[in-house]
Amino acid sequence: MSNSAVTDMSFEAALSELETIVGALESGKAPLEDSIQSYERGIALKKHCEQKLSQAQEKIEKITIGSDGKPTAVPFETE
């Protein structure tokens, strides 16, 4: 497990480490104290990934063609 600050990690690095933590926790082979620390880091990584996704979603725009035939950009909305 990496000791780097979660806030300094890219989305991909955080997700990769989170997947590693989940796998280790699911195996049940780690000592209890290590599992607790891993779980806490996993929560921080999950929050960081959610924040990164939210930021990316705010930047995405959908291009639509208006009734006048001109393209316009509108904010992306989830369904």
DSSP letters spanning 11-76: HHHHHHHHHHHHHHHHHT-S-HHHHHHHHHHHHHHHHHHHHHHHHHHHH-EEEEE-TTS-EEEEE-
pLDDT digits (tens, 9 = 90+) for 53-76: 988 887 777 777 778 888 887 777
Q: What is the pTM of this model?
A: 0.71
Q: Domain coordinates of the chain in residue numbers? A: 6-75
Distance of CA 6 to the CA centre of its chain: 11
| Mean pLDDT (the chain, rounded) | 87
Q: Domain 6-75's class?
A: mainly alpha
The phi, psi pair for 69, rounded to 5°, reads 85, 0
Res 79 pLDDT > 70: no
pLDDT digits (tens, 9 = 90+) for 4-51: 699 999 999 999 999 999 999 999 998 999 999 999 999 999 999 999
